[in-house]
Structure 1
Amino acid sequence: MNGIEYDRLEPFQAAAAKAFVPVRVRVPREADFRAAIGGGTVNGVAVGRIAGTPCSVHRDARLIGSADPEMLKVALIRRGRAGVEQDDQQCVVRPGDLVAYDTTRPYELRYWDDFDITVLAIPRARLGPSAELIRRRSASPLPVDVTVRSVVSGCLAGLGADLDGLSPAAGMHLADALVSLVTSAFTDEAPERAEPDSALGDRVVAHCLANLSDPDLSVGSVARRHGISVRHLHRVLSGRGISLAAWIRHERLLRIRRDLSNPALAHRTAAEIAARWGILDPTHLSRALKAEFGRTAKEIRSAGPEAEPAQRRSRPAVEDPA
C-alpha cells in the first residue's frame, strides 16, 4: 500500500496520533514490528489506510484529552481479523466487515494477524443525531451483505492515499458523500433511525455543533443558513424539546467547563477559553457556569479534572477466536 512505512513503534504511534487521536500500541516483539500509514483529510473528515503486523491498540481514559477532536471512527477490515472492545461491548471483525468506535471513550483493538484497514474519522458534529445511533452500535460488526454496505465498502476500498491534492470543492463533496454513506450503512436497519421529516432538524443540530466556536452563531444566522424563517426553525426544534438559543449556550458552557478543568490548558485564561467557544464577552461567565453547573470558573479550575467513573469490565478482553 502507499504510505509511510515504520519499523519502530514510537514514530508509528506519533503518526497515528497526528492522523487521528493519541493511542498506545503494544506488540508481541518490537523487533518484528512493521507498519505503514497513509491518507489525508478532506473537509474535516480524516481518511487513513493502515497496515501492519499483529499488535493491540489502546485508547484509555488517560489518553483522552479535552482538546482532542470528538470523532466517530469507522473501519473497513480489508485483511486479517481483529477484536474490538468499547464499553461493555466486544466483537470479532473479519475482512469485509465495517465496525465503528468512539474516540471520546476508551476502546481497545486487537489484531491477531497481519492486517490492512481503511479508517474514516468523522467529527461527531457532522453526523448530527445519527452520531448517537452509530455510537450505540460501536464494537458491533456490520458484515457487508446488503446493498448500502456493499457500496460503502467499495467506496472505502477504493480511496487512495493522495487526498490532500483535492480541490476545496471536490474535498467538500467527497466528505459529504462519505458522511452520508456511513450514516446510511449504520442506520439503515436501526429501528430508531431518523424519519425523513426530521432531516432539517438533523442538519440544524449538526450545523450548530460544528460552529459553536463562531461568535455569530445565533437563531437568526441558523435560520438564514437553512433558508427558513425563525418561526419555522422554532417549530422544527420544538418537537425535540430544544430552545435553540438556550441549547447553544448550554453546549458552549459544557465545553468551557471541560477546558477549564483540563490541566493542559491551565496557561489559558477563562476569557481565552470562552472566546474559543464563541463567547467573546466573559463578563458574566462565572455566573453562567455557577447557574449551569454549581461552580464558578475559578472553582472549576481549582477542582481540576472531574473524576471519571471506573471502567467496569464485565468480560475479559476479547480473545483470539482461532
Structure 2
Amino acid sequence: MIETWFRTTDVPAADRFDYWHTLATGLCGPSRIDSLAVEPFHAEGRALDLGAMGVVTDSKSAFSMARSSAQARRDSVEHCYLTLVEDGLVGCDQDGRQSTLTAGEMIIHHSMSASVTSAVTTGRSVMLHFPRTLLPPVALDLLATKLSGREGLGGLVAGGLRELAVLPADRDEEMARLAGITLDLLAALCHRELGTERPAATTPAALLGQVRAFIRTHLGDPDLAPATVAAAHHISVRYLHRLFQQEGQTVAGWIRDQRLENCRRDLANPALHDRPVHAVARRWGFTDSAHFNRTFRAAFGLPPGEYRKLAQVPVPAQRVLS
C-alpha cells in the first residue's frame, strides 16, 4: 500500500491551488476546478493507495468542480467514490439528482459518462474510491443521493470509512478486507433505503463460481488483482487464496491462464488477423508487450506472432476421388 501526505503549505502561496488541482484531477479525472477561497488556497491530507482502490482523508478550502460528459468519456477506467463529509457543506449534482450534504452525511458518485458538478465549502471529508466493478448494483439507484452516516447501518458505513482513514500503510490485506466490508454495509444500507432485500448467502463452491465469473468478465482490466477480486465479493484476500488453493490453483495464476487462453483464441481467429498482437494482449489485460511475449511463449511454446501465423494457415481442401 502506498501512503502519500500532501500539504499546500509545502509550496509557495501562489502555487498552492495549482498544486492541489493537479492532485485532484489525478484522482477524479479531467475536470474544471475553481478556487472559491478568499485567502490563499489551503489543503492537506493523506492518501492510501491499494492499486485500484484507495482512501483519501483531507481538509481543504472552498472550491467548485464541473466535469462534463465529454471529459468523463475520455477516462479509460470507470471509478466510483463514496464520500463522508466530516465538516463543512458539500453540494453535488449528477444524473439529474441534486443533494446538499452536511457533517455526518455521505454520497456516492461516479466518473462515468454523466456530467457532475459540485461545490464544497471549507471542511473535512473521507473518500473511498474504487472501480465501478466493486460498486454494489443496488447502489446504482442511489447515486448522488444523500445518505445519513449518523446512526444505524449508515453509521456503520461511516465507521468503516473512518477506520480506513486511519489504517497504517502496511495493512494491505486489512484495507482490502475492510473496504469490502464497508461496501457490503453500503449495499445493506441501500437495500434498506430502497425497501428491497439483500441476496442470500452462498456456499464456498458457489462463491468460487461467482469469483471465476467475475474474473472472466473483467479480464481486460489491467488492475484486476486478488485484492480487488476479494473486495468485490466482501471476503478477505486470504480466504480468496484459500478458495483457489482447494482447487490446486492460485488466484494470480488462474487470472493469467484465462488471459492467455483468450489471447490464444483471438490470435487464432482469422476474423481478427488485422488486429496487432499488442492490441490483442491489451484487450485481455496485458499492458507490457515484452512480458506478454515471454508469458505466451512459456505457455504455448511459440511467440504470439509465430503462433498466429501457424494457427491461421489455411488447411488444404481434401480431394474427393470418384
Q: TM-score, normalized by length of structure 1?
A: 0.60
Q: Which has the higher helix share?
A: 2
Which of 195, 216, 236 aligns to 2:199? It is: 195
Higher relative contact order (CA 8 A, sep 6+): 1
Q: What RMSD in Å do the two structures reach over aligned CA positions?
A: 3.6
Deviation at 1:167, TM superposition (A): 4.1
Verify: 1:16 aligned to 2:24, yes or no: yes
Cα gap change, 1:83 to 1:3, in 2 (>3 Å): same
Matches within 5 A, 1:170-209: 170-196=174-200, 200=207, 203=211, 205-209=213-217
Partner residue in 1 for 2:159: 154
Deviation at 1:5, TM superposition (A): 1.7
Alpha-carbon displacement from aligned partner over 1:254-304 (angstroms, at most 9, x marks no partner): xxxxxxxxxxxxxxx754233112188797xxxxxxxxxxxxxxxxxxxxx
Matches within 5 A, 1:108-119: 108-111=117-120, 113-119=121-127
Verify: 1:278 aligned to 2:284, yes or no: yes
Alpha carbons 1:97, 1:144 under 8 Å: kept = yes
Bigger radius of gyration? 2
| Matched position secondary structure for 1:196 | coil
Deviation at 1:20, TM superposition (A): 4.3
Deviation at 1:225, TM superposition (A): 5.1
Cα distance in structure 2, aligned partners of 1:274 and 1:138: 34
Alpha carbons 1:101, 1:135 under 8 Å: kept = no
Cα distance in structure 2, aligned partners of 1:94 and 1:52: 15
Alpha carbons 2:59, 2:125 under 8 Å: kept = yes
Deviation at 1:204, TM superposition (A): 5.1
Deviation at 1:72, TM superposition (A): 1.2
Alpha-carbon displacement from aligned partner over 1:63-88 (angstroms, at most 9, x marks no partner): 32555321110100100111111021
Alpha carbons 2:92, 2:99 under 8 Å: kept = yes
Structure 1: tracts of 5 or more residues without a match: 215-223, 229-244, 254-268, 284-322
Cα gap change, 1:227 to 1:70, in 2 (>3 Å): farther
Deviation at 1:192, TM superposition (A): 4.7
Verify: 1:69 aligned to 2:77, yes or no: yes
Which of 57, 65, 77 aligns to 1:49? It is: 57
Aligned length: 233
Which of 124, 128, 136 aligns to 2:132? It is: 124
Cα gap change, 1:40 to 1:19, in 2 (>3 Å): farther
Cα gap change, 1:28 to 1:19, in 2 (>3 Å): closer
Cα distance in structure 1, aligned partners of 2:128 and 2:157: 11
Greater than 6 Å deviation, 4+ residue runs: 279-283
| Matched position secondary structure for 1:58 | strand
Matches within 5 A, 1:64-103: 64-103=72-111
Verify: 1:142 aligned to 2:116, yes or no: no
Matches within 5 A, 1:226-237: none
Alpha carbons 1:126, 1:210 under 8 Å: kept = no
Alpha carbons 1:3, 1:161 under 8 Å: kept = no
| Matched position secondary structure for 1:69 | coil
Cα distance in structure 2, aligned partners of 1:95 and 1:152: 14
My pick for the range that moved more, 170-179 or 55-64, is 170-179
Alpha carbons 2:56, 2:165 under 8 Å: kept = no
Deviation at 1:188, TM superposition (A): 3.5
Cα gap change, 1:135 to 1:125, in 2 (>3 Å): same
| Matched position secondary structure for 1:188 | helix
Alpha carbons 1:126, 1:206 under 8 Å: kept = no
My pick for the range that moved more, 143-152 or 91-100, is 143-152
Cα distance in structure 2, aligned partners of 1:28 and 1:145: 28
Q: Which amino acid aligns with 1:107?
A: V
Deviation at 1:90, TM superposition (A): 0.8
Cα distance in structure 1, aligned partners of 2:215 and 2:196: 22
Q: Which amino acid aligns with 2:280?
A: A
Partner residue in 1 for 2:7: 5
Identity %: 16
Cα distance in structure 1, aligned partners of 2:158 and 2:279: 40
